[in-house]
């Protein structure tokens, strides 16, 4: 809810509207999850049942993430960067972003048990997947802090040179 409040509120929308917008994607996702799971169960392609959904979902994931943060700007006209326009832009792309997340993650989570019939192998695969997921989150959390330190040092050096 904090992200929705910032995204809509910083462009003139209301905080109450942002709460409403932030709940809709999860509600839509709950309705879509089961259907998408069934669809990926029934799919038969040369790439397997799950991989085409994951590949398509990743592309849409990236596109909707970029669009979520870049509402169009038309100076002098009522546009998406203020008030209700920002709320509608954010709401639409937030829902699409969550749907692409579903398109990627539902087949991904179902793929693990299908990789092997051996219990030990499946455990190893799940362990490695969760370990890399955790390491990626740690890296993503630490990267802004480390890059901020580097930028501060570089700007200090540049100021010292002046």
Residues contacting residue 139 through CB under 8 Å, at least 6 positions apart? none
**117 and 47 Cβ atoms separated by less than 8 Å:** no
CA distance 95 to 87: 12
Please tell me the pTM assigned to this model.
0.62
Burial of 97 (0-12, 13-18, 19+ CB in 10 A): buried
Backbone torsion region of residue 83, taken as left when φ is above 0, otherwise alpha when ψ lies between -120 and 50, otherwise beta: left
Q: Per-residue confidence at 1, pLDDT binned at 50, 70, 90?
A: very low
- 9-62 tens-digit pLDDT: 554 555 555 556 666 667 777 778 888 888 888 888 898 888 899 999 999 989
Number of residues that this document lists for the chain: 162
pLDDT digits 0-9 by tens, 78-132: 545 556 677 778 888 888 888 888 889 888 888 878 888 899 998 898 899 899 9
């Amino acid at each position: 809810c904090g992200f929705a409040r910032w995204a809509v509120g910083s462009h003139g929308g209301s905080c109450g509207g942002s709460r409403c917008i932030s709940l809709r994607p999860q509600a839509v996702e709950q309705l879509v999850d089961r259907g998408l799971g069934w669809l990926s169960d029934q799919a038969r392609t040369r790439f397997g049942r799950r991989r085409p959904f994951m590949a398509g979902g990743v592309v849409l994931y990236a596109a909707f993430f970029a669009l979520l943060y870049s509402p169009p700007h038309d100076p002098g006209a009522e546009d998406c960067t203020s008030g209700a326009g920002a709320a509608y832009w954010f709401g639409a792309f937030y829902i699409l972003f969550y749907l692409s997340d579903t398109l990627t993650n539902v087949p991904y989570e179902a793929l693990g048990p299908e990789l092997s019939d051996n219990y030990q192998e499946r455990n190893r695969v799940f362990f490695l997947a969760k370990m890399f997921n955790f390491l990626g989150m740690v890296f993503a959390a630490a990267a802004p802090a480390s890059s901020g330190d580097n930028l501060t040092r570089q700007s200090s050096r540049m100021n010292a040179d002046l």
